Chain A
Amino acid sequence: MSDAVAKEMLKISGLHAWYGESHILHGVDLAVGEGELVTLLGRNGAGRTTILKSIMGLVGRRAGSITVQGSETIGMATHRIAHLGLGYCPEERGIFSSLSVEENLLLPPVVKSGGMSVEEIYEMFPNLKERRGSMGTRLSGGEQQMLAMARILRTGARLLLLDEITEGLAPVIVQALGRLIKQLKEKGFTIILVEQNFRFAAPLADRHYVIEHGAIAEMIVKDELAGSMERLNRYLGV
C-alpha cells in the first residue's frame, strides 16, 4: 500500500488529543500519500472529526506527532499549520453570516501559489457568482457547502480536510460534490474525507481508515473493500 505511494503528504503517529478533561484520541497512526484520497469511517463519536481538528491544531491539547510534508506541526500555532498548504472544511461548514458570499470566498489568505483564481472558481460554481453579493448564510445548504469548498480551493492548499460534506444535502447536490471531488483528485489534490455516506465515499477513495474509540481499528485498501464489507458493516453498526 503506502510503499506504492511516491511521497508522504501527511504522517500521524501516536496522536493523543484532549478537549479539556476528556481524552478523545488514544494513539492514532495514519499516513496519506501525495495525491491520495483516504476516508475516515466510523460511528458518531469515534473521533473522526477530532482527527481533522487535531491536524489543524484546533483541539484543547494534542500529543504525539503530525508531520505535513516532513514538517512537525505538533507544537505549531494553528495559523502557521494552514500555511503548510492545508485547507479545512468543517462539518458545520463555517459560512460567516456577517460576510457576503464573495467576502466568504476571499477570506482565507493564499497559503501556497497555484490556487484557483476567482474567475476559475466562479466558472466552476456559477451559483456563487450569481449570489456573490448576498450574505453568506442566505445561501441554501448545498450552495453553502459549495462555498465552503470553493474558498479553500482559492488558497493554493494541496491537502484538503473535508468533514461530512454531504451531510443533509439533496441527492443531486451529493452527486455534484462527488463529481467535484473526482475532479480535484484528478488535479492531484490530497484529500482526507470524513464521511458518513459510505456509498458516496467508496467509489472515490483509495483507502479507508476505520476509526473506533479514538484509534485506528483497521485500514482497508480499495481492492479489498468488497471482501471486507461484512466486517466494515459491523464497525459502522449498519
Chain B
Amino acid sequence: MEITFQTVMSQVMLGLNNGVFYAILSLGLAVIFGLLNIVNFAHGALYMLGAYVALLGYTTLGPLIGMPDFHLNYWAALLVAPMVVGALGMAIERTMLRRLYKFDHLYGLLLTFGLALIIQGVFTNFFNVSGDPYDAKPEILNGAVSLGFMMFPKYRLWVIVISLAVCFGTWFVIERTKLGSYLRAGTENPELVKAFGVNVPLMITLTYGYGVGLAAFAGVLAAPIYSVSPVMGAEMIITVFAVVVIGGMGSIMGAIVTGLLLGVVEGFTKVVYAPASSTVIFLIMVVVLLVKPAGLFGRES
C-alpha cells in the first residue's frame, strides 16, 4: 500500500473505530477493578452476551412470546441489552463474587474466567461459531458521509461518537460528581466509607452491574459491524487485556486514552506494515511491562 495522507487517515479512522471498543471495554474493567479488586475475565463473554441480546431480541424474541411481528429494534437494544446483562452481572456479584472477597483476588479472577468459559461454551453449543448477521441496523445509519479526506461509513462514525460520549460521561460522573466521590473513596478505603454510613456492598453490586453493562453496550454497537458469534468476546478480550496492561489499572482516563490510542496505533501499523497490525499491541505491552510495569497511567504501589 502506498503511504498517502488518505490511506493513513482512513486507517487511522478505522483504528479509532476499533479503539473506541477497546476504550469502552477497558473502562468497564477499570471501574470494576477499582472497587472490587477483581480482574473481570467474564468481560468478553458479557460483551458477546450483549450482542446476542440484541440479535435474539430482533429475530427470536417475538416468535417466542407469540408475537411474530415483534422485533426489538436497535435503539431499544442499546438500552435493553446493558440492562439485561447488568442485571445478570449484579446477580453474579451477589451470589458468587461476594463470597470470594475475603480470599485472595486470584479466586475472583478464576471464578470470572470459569463463568466466561461456561457462557461461551453454552452459546457455542447453540449458535454458529462463524457468526450470524445482525440486520437491525437503522436506516438512518446506512451509507457513508464525507469527512473531507475520505468517505466514512455513517454507522462507524456513530459508534465513535456515542462511545466517546459514554466514555467521557462515565469519566465525568466518577471524577466530578458526588456519586463518583463515593466510588473513588470506596476504591481507596472501603472500610472507612462504610464507617461513614455508606452502603458499600450495594455500591459494589451496582458498580459491577454498570461495568458489565458497558460491555453489553459495546456488544450491541459491535453487532452490525462484526457478525454476532459466540467467540467474538474471546477474540476481543485478549486485546483489551493488553490495553489494560499498557494503560495500567489505576485510572479511568488512562483506560479511555490508552484504548483510543492503541486502536489508532493498530490502524497506523496497517499502513506501514500490515502483517504486524495484529501483534503491535502485544509488542507495546511487552515493552511497557519491561519499562513501566504499573502501566502508562498506573500508580506504582
Contacts and interface: CB of A to CB of B under 8 A. Distances in A.
B185 interface: yes
B181 A58 contact: no
A49 to B, nearest CB: 13
A205 B196 CA distance: 25
Contact of A94 (B182, B184, B189, B199): B189
Contact of B197 (A58, A96, A106, A155): A155
A96 B196 contact: no
Interface residues of A, number: 24
Interface string A82-93: 110000101000
A66 B201 CA distance: 23
Contact of B192 (A80, A90, A111): A90
A106 B187 CA distance: 17
Q: Is the interface of B mostly helix, strand, loop or mixed?
A: helix
A82 B189 contact: no
Given A94-B189, A97-B188, A98-B188, A106 B181 contact: yes
A78 B192 CA distance: 10
Contact of A109 (B188, B191, B196): B196
A90 B199 CA distance: 19
Interface string B193-222: 111111111000000000000000000000
Interface string A105-125: 011110100000000000000
Interface of A: 56-58, 77-83, 88, 90, 94, 96-99, 103, 106-109, 111, 155
Interface of B: 178, 181-182, 184-185, 187-189, 191-201
Counting from the closest, the 6 A-B pairs by CB-CB distance are A82-B197, A108-B196, A78-B194, A98-B184, A94-B192, A103-B181
13 contacts: A57-B195, A58-B194, A79-B199, A82-B196, A83-B197, A88-B196, A90-B195, A94-B192, A97-B188, A98-B184, A99-B184, A103-B181, A155-B196
